[in-house]
């Protein structure tokens, strides 16, 4: 058998050298390890997190305030819608009173409107405060005058209820203006 002699080709060496260079660069270069952040980088990161958190909280505060205002205005709208029929009744009564000749009919009409109005408010949780004859309580009453008590039993008690006080769901919404016996 005949032996083949290999011929020396310089291009083969160049290809071989390029492959070695590529292999050397890939094996020598290792991924960089992350080093500790500098204090400035850490400060910037924490400051950025703080600003984002502050902005989120500010948005939350604005949103809850808006929701609260919407809730209050919606609650008022419900009450006003319930009071509109009473307003209509007053308008009709005023128109009828222009031609009314019987005073008892007018009185009865206004009493019906008053009862309707009162029942409407009571259904919303409003309750009148009973003050006359009760001991004076500065948490419930506002004394507008002190008068000599007609008897010893009435000393320190409410003699007259000048303006009624009201509770809304057991919370005082208007203090009773009263005259107290001394």
Strand-pair category, 166-168 with 158-163:
unpaired
Per-residue pLDDT of the chain (182 residues; tens, 9 = 90+): 444 555 555 555 555 555 555 445 555 555 566 788 899 999 999 999 999 999 999 999 999 999 999 888 787 788 888 889 999 999 999 888 888 888 898 899 999 999 999 999 999 899 999 999 999 999 999 999 999 988 888 889 999 999 999 999 989 999 999 999 98
Same domain, 45 and 119: yes
For residue 105, what is the domain's CATH number? 3.90.20.20
Per the structure block, which two tokens stand in for 54?
């502050």
pLDDT tens digit sequence for 15-47: 555 555 544 555 555 556 678 889 999 999 999
- The tally of domains found in the chain comes to 2
Q: Which of 76, 78, 88, 80 is nearest to 112 (CA)?
A: 88
List the domain range (segments joined by +) for residue 137. 126-182
Same domain, 103 and 145: no
- Whole-number Å distance between alpha carbons of 18 and 16: 6
């Amino acid at each position: 058998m005949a032996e083949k002699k290999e011929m020396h080709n310089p291009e083969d060496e160049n290809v071989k050298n390029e492959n070695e260079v590529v292999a050397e660069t890939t094996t020598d270069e290792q991924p960089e390890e992350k080093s500790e952040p500098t204090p400035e980088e850490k400060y910037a990161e924490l400051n950025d997190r703080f600003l984002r958190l502050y902005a989120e909280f500010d948005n939350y505060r604005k949103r809850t305030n808006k929701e609260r205002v919407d809730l209050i205005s919606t609650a008022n709208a419900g009450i006003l819608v319930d009071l509109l029929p009473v307003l209509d009744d007053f308008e009709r009564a005023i128109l009828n009173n222009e031609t009314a000749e019987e005073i008892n009919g007018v009185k009865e009409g206004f009493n019906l409107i008053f009862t309707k109005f009162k029942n409407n408010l009571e259904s919303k949780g409003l309750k009148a405060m009973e003050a006359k004859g009760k001991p004076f309580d500065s948490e419930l009453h506002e004394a507008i005058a002190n008068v000599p008590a007609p008897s010893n039993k009435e000393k320190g008690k409410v003699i007259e209820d000048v303006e009624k006080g009201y509770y809304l769901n057991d919370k005082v919404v208007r203090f009773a203006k009263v005259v107290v016996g001394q």
